[in-house]
């Protein structure tokens, strides 16, 4: 009986921390985004590792926390780094060509449309809706992007200055994605027991393009068949 208990405990730990491809997303009240992850609400959940998927001389640690509320989803990325490769100075650019974190949210599997969100160290964003039919995909920017449809986001750095080319020890991205922005995707908003497919990524350019992903994918980040699973508590 003790052995069974240990196995069950290990299995639950894997689900909670996302190491088995499934993450239990805990519920929270809404809170302020600062870019530092200093809200007490983040204490409700643990870190999820985002493995570096390409072998390099230096391996960086990347981790994320995820929460959801009655109005939207919260993400907190912590990215070990040495240099900020980030020159773009506007939203809705090709942010993936420089340092960036990304989240893909696919609320319902029989509807091949998902939401992609990117955020740079300089706090510039790219929010797009992506229809993907058997690998043919295209991103669409939101219309009337204002009010309660807008994300809330902020970034910060450790060990250096928040500027292009700066030497740092890490950078942090904290953001909120409102459900209003995901309309009219099905299965939104989530409630207790709701299941979404999702993946979380990072790209760093210190050693050439280096990708990090929660769940390993084949080819592009848009390989939705290999996304992980969010289960809302």
Asked if 111 and 89 touch (Cβ cutoff 8 Å), the reply is no
- Per-domain residue ranges of the chain: 25-232
Q: What is the pLDDT of residues 92-106, one digit of tens each?
A: 999 999 999 999 999
Nearest in space to 56 (alpha carbons), one of 80, 23, 87: 80
DSSP string, 150-215: S-EEEEEEESS-SSTT-B-SEEEEEEEEEHHHHTT-TT-S--TT-EEEEEEEEEE-BTBSEEEESS
Three-state SS at 131: strand
Report, as ranges of residue numbers, the positions in the chain whose pLDDT lies below 50: 1-12
Please report which helix (H) or strand (E) contains residue 10, including its range.
Answer: helix 2-17
Nearest to 126 by CA among 147, 95, 101: 95
Give the span between the Cα atoms of 179 and 74, in whole angstroms.
Answer: 11
Confidence (pTM): 0.92
Q: What are phi and psi of 68, to 5 degrees?
A: -135, 155
pLDDT tens by residue, 127-157: 999 999 888 899 999 999 999 999 999 999 9
CATH topology of domain 25-232: Immunoglobulin-like (2.60.40)
């Amino acid at each position: 009986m003790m052995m069974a208990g240990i196995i069950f405990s290990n299995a639950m730990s894997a689900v909670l921390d996302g190491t088995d491809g499934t993450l239990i997303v805990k519920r929270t009240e809404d809170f302020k985004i600062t870019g530092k992850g200093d809200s007490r609400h983040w204490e409700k959940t643990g870190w999820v590792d985002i493995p570096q998927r390409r072998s390099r001389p230096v391996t960086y640690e990347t981790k994320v926390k995820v929460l959801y509320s009655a109005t939207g989803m919260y993400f907190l990325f912590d990215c070990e780094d040495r240099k900020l490769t980030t020159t773009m100075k506007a939203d809705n650019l090709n942010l993936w060509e420089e340092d960036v974190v990304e989240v893909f949210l696919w609320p319902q599997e029989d509807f091949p449309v998902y939401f992609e969100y990117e955020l740079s160290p300089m706090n510039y964003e790219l929010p797009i809706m992506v229809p993907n039919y058997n690998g043919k995909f295209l991103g669409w920017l939101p219309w009337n992007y204002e009010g309660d449809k807008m994300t809330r986001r902020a970034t910060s750095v450790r060990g250096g200055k928040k500027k292009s080319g700066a030497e740092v020890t890490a950078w942090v991205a904290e953001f909120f994605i409102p459900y209003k922005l995901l309309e009219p995707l099905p299965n939104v908003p989530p409630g207790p027991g709701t299941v979404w497919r999702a993946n979380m990524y990072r790209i760093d350019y210190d050693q050439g393009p280096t990708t990090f992903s929660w769940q390993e994918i084949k080819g592009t980040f848009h390989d939705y068949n290999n996304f992980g699973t969010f289960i809302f508590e």
